Amino acid sequence: MRTSRKLAMFVMPALLCAALSAAGFPEAGKPVRLVVPFPAGSPAFDGTARILADRLRASLGVPVIVENRPGAGTVLGNQVVASAAPDGHTLLYGVGTSLTMLPHQLAKRPYDELRDFTPVTMVATSPLFLMAHPSVPAANLRELVAFAKANPGKLSFASWQFGGINHVVLEQLKVDTGIDMVHVPYKGPDDALKDLLEGRIHLMMGASQVQIGFVQKGKLRALAAASKGRMRSMPDLPTFAEQGFPGYDHLGSIAVWGPGGLPADTIRRLNEEFGRILRDPGVVAHFMRIVPTFDVSPSAPEELAAFLRAQHELMGQLIRRLGIRIE
């Protein structure tokens, strides 16, 4: 009996420590998956995710794997995270509009955006700009609208997320001006950009350094900034509003979410780790080399949640006005 009590004195604390360790984050040796709902090679999404994964790997001491799950307008990648165990080892590195716009367009979804995701941190926001192939006979937005009105159905535009902000902005322009343009959806921005450069499509919303580089080289033409003020990376580019088209103050965003029900301690740990990485001047500089329009802006989870709720309401109003539905 005395031996059993002595054994229990050693075994019980060991079992308790093991249980606490198993419940903690991160679990030793278990990789963290950073799910990106876009194809590999996309600079703004895949490229920046890999920068964060490298830094997070060093700080957490476990493997951090970028897992590309493109398709279905980000639904496939989002679903991977929504259905994952809420242990912090599966995270979504996605666009805010996929959680604020899709709910108003896609009636049947395999998850609930407000219930099945836990906000961790905002990563960055970015204004968008409209760019055109040089074959389009328009030097600005007014000339584009005039040409489109005179040539209904002749112009086409790309998006890489049906119902996403890069799609909706141009659907908004169609409705506001009465022009007729053809929408061509792509799986990712790189494929869309390739066809834009080759003139197979005519228009696309952009933000990345690669896209701005092609504008600077004269291979593409920037027509308007879809933002409240002018872009610091292209200060000579007038906004939609400056050219007589108000109501196009749109921000793209990238953020990190976990599955619904993520424990408070895990949320806090992840928020601290991502925040520390995103406040590193070297990381900020690297991000801005990839996407010079980025405003790298880590946030508290509560701030991200409030931002998403506000965008959810605003985007709902816009989507209902445009009548965009995904079958």
Q: What is the pLDDT of residue 327?
A: 61
Structure tokens that stand for 158 in this block: 């790309």
CATH of the domain at 227: 3.40.190.10
- Whether 266 is in a domain gets the answer yes
Give the contacts of 90 (CB within 8 A, at least 6 positions apart).
32, 33, 35, 80, 81, 84, 258, 259
Residue 104: Cβ-neighbour burial (10 angstroms; 0-12, 13-18, 19+): buried
DSSP assignment of 84-100 equals S-SSSSEEEEEETHHHH
pLDDT category, 10, cuts 50, 70, 90? very low
Q: How confident is the model at residue 9 (pLDDT cuts 50, 70, 90)?
A: very low
Residues 90 and 153 grouped into a single domain: no
Least confident piece of the model among 3-17, 76-90, 189-203, 254-268: 3-17
For position 8, what pLDDT does the model report? 39
In a domain, 20, yes or no: no
Residue 145 has a pLDDT of: 98
* 225-236 confidence digits (pLDDT tens): 998 888 888 899
pLDDT for the residue 107:
77
Pairing of strands 251-259, 117-132: antiparallel
pLDDT tens digits, 246-255: 999 887 789 9
By three-state DSSP, how is residue 185 classified?
Answer: strand
* Same domain assignment for residues 213 and 272: no
Write down the pLDDT at residue 74.
Answer: 87
Report d(CA 111, CA 102) in Å as an integer: 11
In a domain, 6, yes or no: no
Query: Does 183 reside within a domain?
Result: yes
Q: Do residues 226 and 286 share a domain?
A: no
**Within this chain, do residues 278 and 212 fall inside the same structural domain, yes or no?**
no
In a domain, residue 162? The reply is: yes
For residue 18, give Cα distances in angstroms to 14, 31, 269. Answer: 6, 19, 20
Q: What is the mean pLDDT of residues 286-308?
A: 90
Residue 4 lies in a domain: no
Whole-number pLDDT of residue 313 = 87
Consecutive H or E run containing 211: helix 209-216
CATH of the domain at 267: 3.40.190.150
Number of domains in the chain: 2
- Sheet strands (E) in the chain: 32-36, 64-68, 90-95, 117-132, 156-159, 182-185, 203-206, 221-226, 251-259, 295-296
> Within this chain, do residues 62 and 118 fall inside the same structural domain, yes or no?
yes
Same domain, 167 and 237: yes
11 within a domain of the structure (yes/no): no
Which domain does 158 fall in, by range? 130-243
What is the arithmetic mean of pLDDT over 162-172?
87
Per the CB < 8 A criterion, the answer to whether 75 and 102 are in contact is yes
How large is the C-alpha radius of gyration of the chain? 23
pTM: 0.77
Residue 208 has pLDDT above 80, yes or no: no
Using the 3D structure, point to which of 220, 243, 266 is the last residue of a domain: 243
Q: Pick from 243, 272, 304: which residue ends a domain?
A: 243
DSSP state of 43: I
pLDDT at 133: 98
Q: Is the pLDDT of residue 2 over 50?
A: no
Asked if 233 and 136 sit in the same domain, the reply is: yes
In this structure, the answer to whether residues 134 and 232 fall within a common structural domain is: yes
Domain boundary residue, one of 179, 214, 243: 243
Say yes or no: 120 and 256 in one domain.
Answer: yes
Highest mean pLDDT among 165-174, 248-257, 273-282: 273-282
